[in-house]
Structure 1
Amino acid sequence: MNLRSVGLRRRTLTLAVAILLTLAAIRALSDDPEIALVIGEPYEAMRQRSTASIAPTIAGEVSFNIPTSDARLRFVDPQYGFVTPLARFFAVIYRNEHINSVRMSPQTEPLLLDDTLKIVLDLQEQWRKGGWTPNRVKDFPSFADSPEWRDRLKDVNRGGTAYWLAGEKYQTMLVVSRFRDEKRPTEERYLITLGISKSRGPR
């Protein structure tokens, strides 16, 4: 076997391994339990569409339910849709058996700052590509990976908040704050809070 044939076999093997790893990653992502919803739809439509288990509503009540396992959010609006990482805290609030809002923390544990910024910036990028726009930017600028933002987030008395609008349909509030993790008391850990509801318009 000549050197050219050996090189071709190696490239083919490398490509095959890369494809298998990609497929495995896609399958792992698709296998994660998810709550798939859009604000304002019937709660039962969300239950039927989702792969994560969540309790039914109590007729005539205003309340919330939490998935029975860690789950990612898939926001299924055809224009403004986005996907979060797995979440441990995930509350779906309903009113008159329709979804009113969502409040969640798109993480399964308090995170280091680099990992926190990765999630926050990915969410903002998904929103930007989907046509969401920043709101109230004079007082609440969007998050960025900059020395100024890092210093601000490290300050336990400040943290950060950003607001985004999806036209006249939805709004999000994204909050990052320092968190004292009792399991890792010497580390700087952070919590992300994401709230989604119907839009009240720009302010």
Structure 2
Amino acid sequence: MRVMVALIATSATYLVMQVLRDEPEIALEMGGTYEDMLLQSTAHFSPLIPGHIWFRVPKTDARLRFIDTQYGFITPAARFFTVSFNDNVITNIRMSPQIEPLLLDDVLKVVLDLQDQWRANGWTVMYPRDNPPFADTPEWRAKLRDVNKGGITFWQAGDKYQVFLDMGRFRDSKRPNEERYLITLALAKPWLPTQVE
């Protein structure tokens, strides 16, 4: 019986890993090049356009695997996903880590998982008094349900990167009677004052 349970567990783990491996992925590091990104990614990307400052988008929904030995993280698959370049070098990422507007429970799972990854990897919350991290609390849920509020939080990785994370209500024309939410994530080298409260 134990052997059978072990075989089933091993098979299930293999299937999960295969699904993750098969999911299109954009793998990149800040300061890396367009060519490096292509070599490390499994998702097809729009072609290189020579020029000083430009941006590109994946040709399919894809998750982000942000490569850094200390501060790396992975997002869910995204439909809106842009990578900006300056002289072929990656300067910033802007994305919505979701395929479609999500229900509140689902969108909270996404942002809480991202925040857990950042905390575990040494990122620090910036301005926690004015822009605290998201949490699954009645207060946060009420704020997010208010179409005039939503939430914003900022995170910093040492002196290397900053992340802006925004979440709010979104009127989804496909589901006009449902509360749906969008996330915006922007990642770049530090652009805001670096002190944390």
Output the TM-score relative to the length of structure 2: 0.94
Instruction: Report the 3-state secondary structure (helix = DSSP H, G, I; strand = E; otherwise coil) of the residue aligned with 1:74.
Output: strand
Instruction: Report the 3-state secondary structure (helix = DSSP H, G, I; strand = E; otherwise coil) of the residue aligned with 1:161.
Output: strand
Task: Flag the structure with larger Rg.
Answer: 1
Instruction: Report the 3-state secondary structure (helix = DSSP H, G, I; strand = E; otherwise coil) of the residue aligned with 2:110.
Output: helix
CA distance in 2, matches of 1:24, 1:187: 33
Q: Is the 8 A contact 1:70 1:88 kept in 2?
A: yes
CA distance in 1, matches of 2:169, 2:11: 38
CA distance in 2, matches of 1:109, 1:15: 37
CA distance in 2, matches of 1:89, 1:107: 8
CA distance in 1, matches of 2:7, 2:105: 32
Q: Is the 8 A contact 1:174 1:193 kept in 2?
A: yes
Residue 19 of structure 1 is matched in structure 2 by: 10
Instruction: Report the 3-state secondary structure (helix = DSSP H, G, I; strand = E; otherwise coil) of the residue aligned with 1:77.
Output: coil
Which one of the candidate residues 169, 182, 186 is aligned to 2:173? 182
Q: Which runs of 5+ in 1 are unaligned?
A: 1-8
Aligned length: 194
Which one of the candidate residues 35, 49, 62 is aligned to 1:44? 35
Residue 115 of structure 1 is matched in structure 2 by: 106
Percent of residue pairs bearing the same amino acid type:
54
Residue 71 of structure 1 is matched in structure 2 by: 62
Counterpart amino acid of 1:113? L
Q: Which runs of 5+ in 2 are unaligned?
A: none
CA distance in 1, matches of 2:10, 2:125: 37
CA RMSD for the aligned pairs?
Answer: 1.2
Instruction: Report the 3-state secondary structure (helix = DSSP H, G, I; strand = E; otherwise coil) of the residue aligned with 1:143.
Output: coil
Q: Deviation per CA, 1:103-143, whole angstroms, max 9, x where unpaired? A: 00101011000110001000000000111000111210001
Output the TM-score relative to the length of structure 1: 0.91
Counterpart amino acid of 1:34? E
Q: Deviation per CA, 1:34-59, whole angstroms, max 9, x where unpaired? A: 11111122222111211111124322
Counterpart amino acid of 1:89? F
Which one of the candidate residues 129, 152, 156 is aligned to 1:138? 129
Counterpart amino acid of 2:38? R
